[in-house]
Amino acid sequence: MRRGEAPAAAGSRFGRRRLLRAAGGAAAAGIGGTVWLAGGASPWRLAAQEEAQFFRIGTGPTTGSYFTIGGIIANAISNPPGSRPCESGGSCGVPGLIAIAQTTRGSIQNVDLVASKSLDSGLCQSDVAFWAYSGNGPYSGSKPLEGLRAIANLYQESLHVVVRADSPIESIGDLKGKRVSLGERGAGTRATAILVLGAYGVGEKRFVGRQLPIAEATAQLRDGKIDAVFLVGSAPVPALAELAQTTPLRMLPVVGEAGEKLRREHPFLTVDIVPEGSYGDAAAAVTVGIGTYWLVLAGLDDELAFGITKSLWHIATRKLLDQGGPLGRRIRVEHALVGLPIPIHPGAERYYAEPHEPDRGVE
C-alpha cells in the first residue's frame, strides 16, 4: 500500500491535547467506528467543566483481533460525562473521555492516520512501528516518523505461513514462483512477509503476490487458486481454524540459518511457536513473534497519556481483559515495555516509573 493512501484497529515495579470535539470527525477519515464506554482509572481531569471529549483508536478489520482488543481498551479508558463513580461500580476511565474503537485495514493504515492526526492512536505491529519510526522497510524513501511514541507493548502475535497439507511446498524457500497471499492492503502482514521471504532468497520478483482479505485468501487456498497464505495473528486464527475443518493445513516454519539471521538482524522479531492442534492435525511450527503496540504521537498531552496508561492497567481493565478471551489474558503490565523499538511516551513512562501491585490477572 502506498503511504498516505486514502482509507476504504517485568515485574511489579517499572523503572489536552489532541482530542476530538465531535464524533462526526470519525467520518472524516472515511473509516467506520464503534463507540465503547466504561473502563479503568485515571487522575486526569478536564480543566474546566467535564464535557465529552472523543479519542479514536485505530484497530483493524472487524473480524480481526485488533478490533476486539481495541474495543476493550476503548471501553477501559472511557468515562463519559455523568457516569457513575468508579468506586460505586461505574466507569473508571479518564473523566469526560469517550474512546472509539475505529475500524481500519490494520497497522500501516493506522500509522499513516496517526501520523496525519486523523486518528489519536492506533494498534500496530512491532516491525511496522520500527520501520515507520526509522524510515525503513515500506517507509524507505520517506521522512522517518520520529514523533511516534508507544503507550505499551500489548501482546505478541505469530506469523503464520500456511499451505495445504497436500502441497509439495516444504519450506519458505520453495515459494519461488508460487502464488502467495500477503494480507489485505493497509495491513502490516505484507511488510513482514516480504522481509521473511527475502531472508530465504525469495525476492519480490520471484513470487506472485496477492493482497487479499483473510476470507478471500482462505477461500482461494481451499480452491487451489493460491499456494500459500501469510498472516499475522494469535493462534488459533478463527478463519484458518474454520478452513482446517474441511481442508487439512500445514505451517511452514521460520527456522534454520535464514531464520536465525532474520531474528538477529531484526530484534523486534522474536522466536514463537504456533502450537500443535491449532489447525486440525497441523503440527507445531516454529515461527517469528511480532509485538502489538499501542501508538500515539509525541504531542499527546502528558497528563492524558498518563491517564489512559493508568486506565489501561487498572484492576477494572484487568477484569475486562480476562473476560476477553485468551488474547486479552495475555495483555500484562509486566510485558508492556519489553522489546519496544520506539520511545515510550513521557506520560506513559511516568506511570511505569511508579511502584505498582503485581498484575494478578488470569494466567
| Inter-residue contact 67 to 214 (CB < 8 Å) | no
Give me the residue spans of the domains in the chain. Answer: 23-353
Task: Give the pLDDT confidence score for residue 64 in this predicted structure.
Answer: 82
What's the pLDDT tens digit per position in 140-189? 989 999 999 999 999 999 999 999 999 999 999 999 999 999 988 878 89
Q: Provide the 10 A C-beta neighbour count for residue 82.
A: 10
Residue 140 grid cell: 524507505
**Residue 248: is the preceding peptide bond cis (ω within 30°)?**
no
The mean pLDDT of the chain is 85
CA distance 110 to 8: 13
- For the chain, report the end-to-end CA distance as a whole number of angstroms: 38
User: Using CA atoms, how far apart are residues 321 and 329, in angstroms rounded to an integer?
Assistant: 6
Residue 334's pLDDT band (boundaries 50, 70, 90)? very high
- How confident is the model over 274-324, as pLDDT tens digits? 999 999 999 999 999 999 999 999 999 999 999 999 999 999 999 999 998
Count of Cβ atoms closer than 10 Å to residue 13 Cβ: 13
Q: What is the mean pLDDT of residues 52-69?
A: 91
Evaluate whether 109 touches 186 at the Cβ level (below 8 Å): yes
- Three-state DSSP at 37 gives coil
Confidence of residue 50 (pLDDT cuts 50, 70, 90): low
User: What is the Cα gyration radius of the chain?
Assistant: 20
Question: Any idea how long the chain is?
Answer: 363
23-353 CATH: 3.40.190.10
Contact 291, 126 (CB under 8 A): yes
